[in-house]
Amino acid sequence: MRKKFLFPACILLLSFGLYFHGVVLAEKAQKHEGHGAQSPAALLTSVDLEIKPSEPKAGKEAELIFSLKDADGKPLKGLTISHERILHAIIISADFSVFAHIHPEDLGAVTPDMLKKAEFKVKYAFPRAGRYMIAVDYALKGSGLSEGFTMDVSGSPVMGSMLKDFSRKQKIGDYEIILKTMPEKIKAGRKTVLSYEIKKDGKKVTDLEPYLGAPMHIAVMMTDFNNFQHTHGEVPGGSKHSSSGHEMHDAPAKFGPIIKASLLFPVKGEYVIFGEIKHKGKVIPIKFMIKAE
């Protein structure tokens, strides 16, 4: 029997466990309580993941097909757009060298037939052989939900060892990203505020643009491949509101150089924090590693 594992997507928290389903080379996440209330409807949904080919190989494009279902196993109705997309798929490699944030709309418009079947497809070529985490975010009548999987990719090249770097400054081309935290020494189980400062060519960037309806998209995972979170940054002093229990952040047309985010690191350990910001039409990936004591 397939178990249902649901997570509030405003801050998604997953702990990964073992689950195999048919030809799908994927392990389904175990439920872990996140932050924010789940609606009764949210507890009656599930997601199946089918992968084609069933044994994906590094460097070869694969199809990931997500089927969203209600408590009776029928196509889920009442799906709503969240952060400008019907569904968000986040992919992270076990060595943390790979991060992807993709959507069905990347392949074309969402059709009435796709909504009727509640079945959505993305395509991705996993660059290296090894283990990957896949999280899917969606919204039911305005309430954000998520479900997670892990899967293995064969072939070559094979993932290398994870490189550890706890510096708080990062260079990405002409950009410099500075990360500060409050408190400076992060404590597990306590609220932490992340503050990103973005510079380009040594100058503060004040014309950042919203990316998919948010100042910043943020994904966090422990280096032992547990406790995944997905949340969003906000502009200091900006407004935010709640819709059916799903917190949303209003992003002005231009902002910067500071973006902040509130997180809770649930247990002691090392975490990798991926971020995405947008400037002059270009999405800029950001990655930091931190320790929670």
Tokens of 269: 């350990």
Pull the structure tokens for residue 24.
């799908």
Between CA 107 and CA 129 the distance in angstroms is 24
Count of positions (residues) in the chain: 293
80 and 194 in a common domain: no
**What is the per-residue pLDDT across 2-47, written as a single tens digit (0 to 9) for each?**
233 334 333 344 444 323 232 333 455 543 333 334 444 445 789 9
In a domain, 42, yes or no: yes
- Residue 21: burial class (beta carbons within 10 Å; 0-12, 13-18, 19+): middle
Residues 186 and 269 in one domain: yes
Q: In terms of domains, do 68 and 187 share one?
A: no
| Domain end position, chosen among 96, 119, 153 | 153
Same domain, 95 and 183: no
Task: Express each pLDDT in 219-238 by its tens digit.
Answer: 999 999 888 898 999 999 86
Backbone angles phi, psi at 201, to 5 degrees: 55, 35
Residue 161 within a domain:
no
Whether residues 148 and 219 fall in one domain: no
| In a domain? residue 162 | no
> Within its chain, how far is the Cα of 46 from the centroid?
18
240 pLDDT band, cuts 50/70/90, is low
For residue 50, the cross-strand partners are: 65
Q: Are 26 and 2 in contact (CB under 8 A)?
A: no
Mean per-residue pLDDT of the chain: 85
Query: 210: domain range?
Result: 169-292
Residues with Cβ within 8 Å of 86's Cβ and at least 6 positions away in sequence, in order, are: 79, 103, 104, 105, 110, 115, 120, 138
The identity of residue 284, as a single letter, is I
pLDDT at 246 over 70: no
Kindly write down the DSSP assignment for every residue of 227-238, as one continuous string: -BEEEEEB-TT-
Q: What letter would DSSP give residue 104?
A: G
Q: Over the stretch 182-213, which tens digit does the pLDDT of each residue have? A: 999 999 999 999 999 999 999 999 999 999 99
| Torsions phi, psi for 241 (to 5 deg) | -140, 170
pLDDT tier for residue 85 given thresholds of 50, 70 and 90: very high
The pLDDT of residue 99:
97
Percent of the chain whose pLDDT exceeds 90: 75
- Write the CATH number for 132: 2.60.40.1940
pLDDT, tens only, 20-32? 232 333 455 543 3
Q: What's the sign of the alpha-carbon dihedral 173, 175, 176, 181?
A: negative
Give the single-character DSSP code of 284: E
Paired tokens of 248: 């949303």
Specify whether the CB–CB gap between 277 and 215 falls below 8 A: yes
User: Does 163 reside within a domain?
Assistant: no
Residue 285 has pLDDT above 90, yes or no: yes
